[in-house]
Amino acid sequence: TQACLTAIDAADALGAFVHKTPEIALEQARAADARLAQGDAPAMCGLPIGIKDLFCTKGVPSQAASRILQGFRPEYNSTVGQQLEDAGAVMLGKLNMDEFAMGSSNETSVYGNVINPWRRGNEDTALTPGGSSGGSAAAVSADLCLAATGTDTGGSIRQPAAFTGITGIKPTYGRCSRWGIVAFASSLDQAGPMTKDVRDAAIMLQAMCGHDPKDSTSADLPVPDFESMLTGDIRGKVIGIPREYRMDGMPAEIEKLWADGTAMLRDAGAEVRDISLPHTKYALPAYYVIAPAEASSNLARYDGVRYGHRATLAQGDDITDMYEKTRAEGFGHEVQRRIMVGTYVLSAGFYDAYYNRARRVRTLIKRDFETVFADGIDAILTPATPSAAFGLGEMGQDDPVQMFLNDVFTVTVNLAGLPGISVPAGLDGKGLPLGLQLIGRPWEEGDLLNTAYALE
Ligand code: GLN
C-alpha cells in the first residue's frame, strides 16, 4: 500500500487518480496486516486497489467526473465497493473517468484528461487510455495499484483495458449489483474488475459478484469459484469467429491479431468455427438510441436540489431558472448531447420511430447470440477495438460519431447482456498494446475466464 501511495504521488501527471485516500488506505492496510497475522485473511486481504469515481464511496467525494456532483460525499458505499472492502481490499483513492461514463477517451471528465502510460513509437504525442474507465486502466497499467474497478455500459471496461495492455471483464448483466454506482444506462451498466491478468480478474470478480436485494436486476444465482476454474484446458471448446466483425477498412494489424488469437485457441485444442451474427451492423445505432434514452431519464435527478452543484441565481429567478442554470453549468457538452438525444427519442412523436425500434433491434441482436450458443458455440473471439490507443484530441472533435465508432465491437455484448473480456494480445507496429475480446454464454464467466487464460 505504501509503495502504491508513493507511486501515485509520483504519477500525478497521468491524471489517473482524482481523489487520493491515503489515510483510509493505511488504516485498511493495518487492519489487513492484523487479519493476516491472525491467519484470518479473506481473498483480497491487503491488496491495494483504485475505485472508479462512478462508485459511491462513504465519506469520500464521488462525482462521476462531473461538475454537477461537486461536493457530493455519499453516506454509503456501493454494494460492490463494500464487498471488495469486506474481502480485504485496500482503497487507494478514486479514479478518473469520462463524465457519467459517457465517452471512449476519458476526455469528457471535469478533472481533465488521463494520459496513457504507453507511447506510440518514439513520438511524444500523449495518447488516451480509452474510456470511460480511463483512470482505472492507466492506474493499473502504470503500476499505481494492483487492480481497479471499472464499469461497462458499451465497452468502458474492455476498450480502455485493450488500450493500456491490461485485462478487463464485463460480467453478465445482473452478476454484480449496480446499487450505489451512479447510473448511466441502467439496462446496460455492469461493474467489473480491471487487472493485470486473468487470474487477478477471476479473484476480484469473485469478490464483486453476488445477489443484492437492493438491486432488483441483480441475479440470485450461486457464484462459482472462478479461480479454481482456470485450468487452461480448453480442449473440445467451440470458438465462433463472427464474419460480421470483419469490417471494411480494418487495419491489417488487427486482422493479424485476430488470426493469431484464433490459431492460439486452435493449438490449445479448441474447435474454431465461422459464425454469423447478422444484426451486428445495427448494434451501434441501437446502442446510441437506448443508452442516451436511459441516461436522459437517470440524469433527471440532478436538479440542483438533491445533490452537488447549484447555480448562483439572480434576483427574480424561479425554480425553472434554477434547474436550467444548474444543469447548463453542471453538465459537460457530451452529457448534454446525450440528454438531448435521449429526450428526443423518448418524446411522444418519435418514441416508436427511434426508441421502440432500437429495442426491437436489441432483441434481434440478443437472438443472434442465442442462436449460435444453441448451435454449440462456447465463446466468440473478436478484436476488442478497431484500433490501438489514439492521441488526445485526435478523435471526435468535429464529429462525435467518429468516437462512437470505437465501440463497434463492444456494444453488442451489453445489448445482449452477455459476459465479455478483453485480454492483452500483443503490440502493434508502433509498440502499442492491442486487445482481443472473448464473449461468453450468460452466467458462464468461469468458462470465459478459462478460455481467456488459455489466450494469455
Ligand atoms: N463509449 C460508450 C459511450 O460513450 C460506452 C461507455 C461505457 O461503457 N460507459 O457510451
Active-site residue, selected from the candidate residues 66, 132, 387, 422: 132
Ligand 1 atom closest to the Cα of residue 102 is: 4
Pairwise CA distance, residues 188 & 2, whole Å = 36
Pairwise CA distance, residues 71 & 346, whole Å = 31
- Tell me, using a 6 A CB cutoff, whether residue 334 lines ligand 1: no
The mean pLDDT of the chain is 97
What are the two backbone dihedrals, phi and then psi, of residue 448, each rounded to the nearest 5 degrees? Answer: -65, -45
Model confidence over 314-327: pLDDT tens digits? 999 999 999 999 99
Beta bridge partners of 382: 437
C-alpha distances in angstroms, 113 versus 156, 158, 434?
16, 19, 21
What's the CATH code of the domain at 45?
Answer: 3.90.1300.10
Looking at the predicted structure, is the pLDDT value of residue 409 above 90?
A: yes
Ligand 1 atom closest to the Cα of residue 403 is: 1
Nearest CA among 79, 64, 225, 47 for reference residue 148: 47
Strands 48-52 and 90-95: parallel
- Tell me, using a 6 A CB cutoff, whether residue 407 lines ligand 1: yes
Active-site residue, selected from the candidate residues 156, 177, 296, 422: 156
Give CA torsion, residues 213, 214, 216, 218, to 10 deg: -70
Cβ contacts of 267 within 8 Å, gap of 6 or more:
none
- Tell me, using a 6 A CB cutoff, whether residue 108 lines ligand 1: no
Per-residue confidence at 400, pLDDT binned at 50, 70, 90? confident
Per-residue confidence at 307, pLDDT binned at 50, 70, 90? confident
Cβ contacts of 397 within 8 Å, gap of 6 or more:
none
Model confidence over 203-220: pLDDT tens digits? 999 999 999 999 999 999
Catalytic residue list contains 132: yes
Catalytic residue list contains 52: yes
Pairwise CA distance, residues 163 & 391, whole Å = 11
Cβ contacts of 423 within 8 Å, gap of 6 or more:
167, 198, 435, 436, 438, 452, 455, 456
Instruction: Please spell the DSSP secondary structure of 361-430, one letter per residue.
Output: HHHHHHHHHHHHHHTT--EEEEES-SSS--BTTSSSSS-HHHHHGGGTTTHHHHHHT--EEEEEEEE-TT
Average pLDDT over residues 179-199: 98
Contact 89, 44 (CB under 8 A): yes
**Rg for the chain, CA atoms, rounded:** 21
Ligand 1 atom closest to the Cα of residue 101 is: 9
Looking at the predicted structure, is the pLDDT value of residue 247 above 90?
A: no
What's the pLDDT score for residue 221? 97
Beta bridge partners of 423: 436
Pairwise CA distance, residues 265 & 60, whole Å = 44
Nearest CA among 19, 23, 28 for reference residue 96: 19
Burial of 313 per CB tally in 10 Å (0-12, 13-18, 19+) = middle
- Tell me, using a 6 A CB cutoff, whether residue 153 lines ligand 1: yes
250 or 438, higher pLDDT: 438
Nearest CA among 160, 159, 189, 158 for reference residue 175: 189
> Which residue CA neighbors atom 10 of ligand 1 most closely?
102
Q: Say which amino acid occupies 240.
A: G
What's the pLDDT score for residue 248? 82
Task: Report the share of the chain in percent with pLDDT over 90.
Answer: 96
Task: Report the share of the chain in percent with pLDDT over 70.
Answer: 100
- Tell me, using a 6 A CB cutoff, whether residue 164 lines ligand 1: no
- CA–centroid distance, 448 to ligand 1, in Å, is 22
What is the domain extent for residue 378? 1-456
- CA–centroid distance, 150 to ligand 1, in Å, is 12
ipTM over 0.85: yes
Helices (H) then strands (E): counts for the chain: 14, 11
- CB-side exposure of 211: number of CA atoms within 13 Å? 6
What are the grid coordinates assigned to 138, written together?
492507466
Strands of the 147-152 sheet, one edge to the other: 17-20, 90-95, 48-52, 147-152, 190-195, 167-170, 420-427, 433-440, 379-383, 238-242, 271-275
- Tell me, using a 6 A CB cutoff, whether residue 410 lines ligand 1: no
* Domains contained in the chain, number: 1
- Tell me, using a 6 A CB cutoff, whether residue 292 lines ligand 1: no
Cβ contacts of 6 within 8 Å, gap of 6 or more:
none
Counting ligand 1 atoms within 8 A of each CB, the residue from 108, 136, 152, 153 with the most, and so the one to mutate, is 153
What's the pLDDT score for residue 250? 87
Per-residue confidence at 403, pLDDT binned at 50, 70, 90? confident
Beta bridge partners of 379: 239, 440
Per-residue confidence at 396, pLDDT binned at 50, 70, 90? confident
Per-residue confidence at 178, pLDDT binned at 50, 70, 90? very high
- CA–centroid distance, 271 to ligand 1, in Å, is 33
Contact 419, 448 (CB under 8 A): yes
- Tell me, using a 6 A CB cutoff, whether residue 152 lines ligand 1: yes
Distance of CA 13 to the CA centre of its chain: 23
- Tell me, using a 6 A CB cutoff, whether residue 101 lines ligand 1: yes
Looking at the predicted structure, is the pLDDT value of residue 413 above 90?
A: yes
Model confidence over 260-288: pLDDT tens digits? 999 999 999 999 999 999 999 999 999 99
DSSP state of 128: P
Pairwise CA distance, residues 55 & 183, whole Å = 10
Average pLDDT over residues 92-112: 98
C-alpha distances in angstroms, 383 versus 172, 367, 421, 438?
19, 21, 11, 8
